[in-house]
């Protein structure tokens, strides 16, 4: 808009200067000169006024442009410390490797696993080095003997382990039962609790023939069972079964001899 106004004013000023130059160069008739000059000035003024009027009419009206109000400035939220829920599920690792859960709410969080505690030296074989298999026995379980009877029990054991049995190994009494219950007395039926059973080495896949002399108890008639295992020089106990941890035994019934 300001450029158009400046252009119109420039044209009016140029016309006025042009008229003045013509007047200065005109003839000597003063009345004619004045009259012509007046006419030229009048025309120049009209031209200038017309140009300004047209420029003003052509220009768009000036209106107040509303300034938008400032928007609200967002509030900066300062993060706070994250709160960990107190009802998180705790998982406790048990001694057998399993897991037990807590109250069941929230995700599981592992706790420090339990460390194994020191244990005593193993008393039984667990590596397959020493194992036995019962191939034959006599008398069989439940054989009847009169009270006070002397008899011999035979076991034929096969070495099914990977280690050789030594002559220093011993047949060791483990427990006695009377009528199916553990005996309160150490009933040995006339034997020792630690019995030498071989003078030879028994390599793997070979046999040991064990014979032990017993005396049928005279105190009470009934069923007697004595349990045994074999003990090595190092104190390792072994017997029957896949892991060599099962006992073998003698089982007899006694009766009273009428006088």
* Residue 235: Cβ-neighbour burial (10 angstroms; 0-12, 13-18, 19+): exposed
Q: What is the rounded distance in angstroms from the CA atom of residue 85 to the CA atom of residue 181?
A: 55
Name the β-bridge partners of 99.
93
Q: What is the pLDDT of residues 162-198, one digit of tens each?
A: 999 999 999 999 999 999 999 878 899 999 999 999 9
pLDDT at res. 31: 47
Q: Which two tokens stand for residue 93?
A: 């690792």
Residues 6+ apart with CB under 8 A from 32: 26
pTM of the full structure: 0.53
Edge-first strand order for the sheet with 108-110 is: 99-100, 89-93, 108-110
Degrees to nearest 5, angle at CA 207 with 205 and 213: 155
Sole residue written with tokens 């007046």: 38
Report whether pLDDT(73) > 80: no
**Per-domain residue ranges of the chain:** 2-58, 85-115, 132-255
Give the homologous superfamily in CATH for domain 132-255: Immunoglobulins (2.60.40.10)
Q: What is the pLDDT of residues 199-233, one digit of tens each?
A: 999 999 999 999 999 999 999 999 999 999 999 99
């Amino acid at each position: 808009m300001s450029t158009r106004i400046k252009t119109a004013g420039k044209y009016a000023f140029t016309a006025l200067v042009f008229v003045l130059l013509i007047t200065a160069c005109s003839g000597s008739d003063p009345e004619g000169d004045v009259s012509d000059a007046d006419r030229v000035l009048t025309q120049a003024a009209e031209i200038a006024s017309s140009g300004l009027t047209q420029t003003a009419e052509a220009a768009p009206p000036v209106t107040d442009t509303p300034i938008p109000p400032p928007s609200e400035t967002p509030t900066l939220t300062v993060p706070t410390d994250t709160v960990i829920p107190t009802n998180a599920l705790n998982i406790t690792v048990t001694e057998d490797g399993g897991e037990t859960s807590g109250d069941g709410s929230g995700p599981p969080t592992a706790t420090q696993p339990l460390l194994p505690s020191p244990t005593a030296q193993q008393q039984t074989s667990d590596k397959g080095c020493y194992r036995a298999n019962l191939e034959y026995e006599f008398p069989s379980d439940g054989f009847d003997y009169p009270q006070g009877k002397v008899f011999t029990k035979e076991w034929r054991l096969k070495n099914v382990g990977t280690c050789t049995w030594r002559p220093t190994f011993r047949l060791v009494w483990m427990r006695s039962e009377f009528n199916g219950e553990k005996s309160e007395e150490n009933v040995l039926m006339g034997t020792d609790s630690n019995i030498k059973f071989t003078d030879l080495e028994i390599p793997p896949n070979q046999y040991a023939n064990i014979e032990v002399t017993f005396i049928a108890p005279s105190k009470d008639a009934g069923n007697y069972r004595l349990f045994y295992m074999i003990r090595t020089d190092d104190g390792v106990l072994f017997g029957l079964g896949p892991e060599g941890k099962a006992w073998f035994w003698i089982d007899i019934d006694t009766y009273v001899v009428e006088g």
